[in-house]
Amino acid sequence: MSCCCPHSNSANRFFSFFAGRYRRRFEKKGFEPSQKQLMEGLQRAGFQDAEILEIGSGVGHLHQTLLEHGAASAVGVDLASKMICEAQKWAHERELDDRTAYIEGDFMELVDSVMDADVTVLDKVVCCYPDADGLVHASIGKTKRVYALTYPRNRWYVRMVMGMTAWVMKIMRSDFRSYVHDPELIEKWIRDAGFGKLYQNSNLVWLTQVYVKF
């Protein structure tokens, strides 16, 4: 079961609005602390010569950096049209056109047309879906070897901020919401699919985990 259409459409508008700002921030400051943790976990798991699938790929900085450090190819899926546009421009500037491909749309609606990959990455994506169960199972089903994700910690202050954000979105008449899902359930779903946890780290807000297939 995918996100409802109003939620996806609102997410497209919300993230497209910030696409240019995201790219400029990456160009100026590089990875956020949680993304540095994600890269550390991916380095431990190994991604040399790997096919990368990044769901919620944004402006492409993460998977394009993996390509520059030894990954073979990458597919980025994002429902925000302007995020895809920025990622394509950046891939061209980094001379990665022939090793990248982009798909615009909701991954849950496109899952049957997305190819399997050695490494699947979901950076701050699980929190954008009301159906975390469906997203995790669908995405891990596309994963041959390494499954890496960053999502919110289940802490009172994180839930409070998410609640305030939901109130603002409602005032703005946007159907987009962010969610705090249970980390224990997420870990169970991944382990039940035959993956073991190789790496975990966190900061005040984000929990970063990297799993490898048995």
What is the predicted pLDDT for the residue at 4?
41
pTM higher than the cut 0.75: yes
What is the predicted pLDDT for the residue at 14?
58
Summarize pLDDT for 34-73 with one digit per residue, the tens.
999 999 999 999 999 999 999 999 999 999 999 999 999 9
What is the predicted pLDDT for the residue at 3?
41
Rounded mean pLDDT of 135-154? 97
Domain count, the chain: 1
What's the mean per-residue pLDDT of the chain?
90
31 DSSP β-pair partners: none
User: Is the C-alpha dihedral spanning 54, 200, 28, 159 positive or negative?
Assistant: positive
Query: How far, in Å, CA of 160 to CA of 182, rounded?
Result: 15
* Residue carrying structure tokens 């991916």: 42
Please check the confidence at residue 202 and state whether its pLDDT lies above 80. Answer: yes
Q: Which of 172, 190, 173 is nearest to 181 (CA)?
A: 190
Q: At a CB cut-off of 8 Å and minimum separation 6, what does 180 contact?
A: 127, 152, 153, 154, 158, 159, 162
- 68: domain CATH number is 3.40.50.150
Structural domain including 30 reads 5-213
